[in-house]
Amino acid sequence: MSNPPIKLATTGLSKTFRKGDFQVEALRDISLSIREGEFVSVVGASGCGKTTFLRILDGLIPASAGAVAVDGKTVVRPGPDRAFVFQQDGLMPWRTVEANVLFGLEIRGRVDGPGRAMARDYLRMVGLSGFEECYPHELSGGMRQRVNIARALAVEPDILLMDEPFASLDAQTREIMQAELMRIWQETRKTVMLITHQIDEAVFLSDRIFVFTARPGRLKTEIVVDLPRPRNLSMKRTAGFAQYLDRIWRLIEEEVREGMRREEQTSSAQHTRSAAS
């Protein structure tokens, strides 16, 4: 059986932020590709440019060099083929759950009978049937994030870009949401890229994991997660799962230590220049 086609690809992607004489190189020369229907994650040391990378993929900010392509077409701005799930749910407190899910469809002029039916289908998919008329303040953090995911799915994107969507949740709720996201992905088979600091989350959910270096973020390595699907949370207690955790942690630890070494060198150089002046 042939492999699915390439859905998303980056070539030589780099990003430098500049303000006056000050500049920070966030990303450098990242080239990778994701096939249709894949679930991939990006992990790396804090500050390695993961969120910047995701925002460039969505077209929210421009790259300094290189290109992003979806289905072979260059990305220059956000589009209906991609949906972004932010760390914070960003629900509008004056809107009901259903009205929040309908927001993207409203922008596209699709708030009709079929549109409302679609919104309710996605609320059912995320386990929130019966909560359509509730308001965000009446929901738990996990339920609010489910609404956030339903809102992204309702616009029927080809690609789901997720920036640490469970970071604000407690440990137990986060585990349940990981299992729920796995179930939703198995049902929809969207192409998903997840940014996360949680190594176990990346291993549990992903087909492949991209490990970034310390800033500037570069692609250090790609790890294929050869664990059987479907997966359940009990897999996290297996020896095979633990081996992936150990391998990825060692890679990230190298980058954390290298980043600390660079910061110490920079601080020392600045102190020397200050003393000399």
Of 55, 48, 104, 85, the closest CA to residue 162 belongs to 85
Give the mean pLDDT of 240-261. 88
Statement: residue 262 has pLDDT above 70: no
Distance of CA 83 to the CA centre of its chain: 10
pLDDT of residue 273: 58
Interaxial angle between packed helices 113-125 and 141-154, expressed in degrees from 0 to 180 and rounded to the nearest 10: 140
Please measure the distance between the N-terminal and C-terminal CA atoms of the chain and give it in whole angstroms.
67
pLDDT of residue 116: 84
* pTM (2 d.p.): 0.89
CATH 3.40.50.300 location in the chain: 6-81+159-276
- CATH says 6-81+159-276 is which class? alpha beta
* Those residues with Cβ within 8 angstroms of residue 47's Cβ, 6 or more apart along the chain or in another chain: 214, 215, 259
Q: Please write the tens of the pLDDT for every residue from 37-57.
A: 999 999 998 889 999 999 999
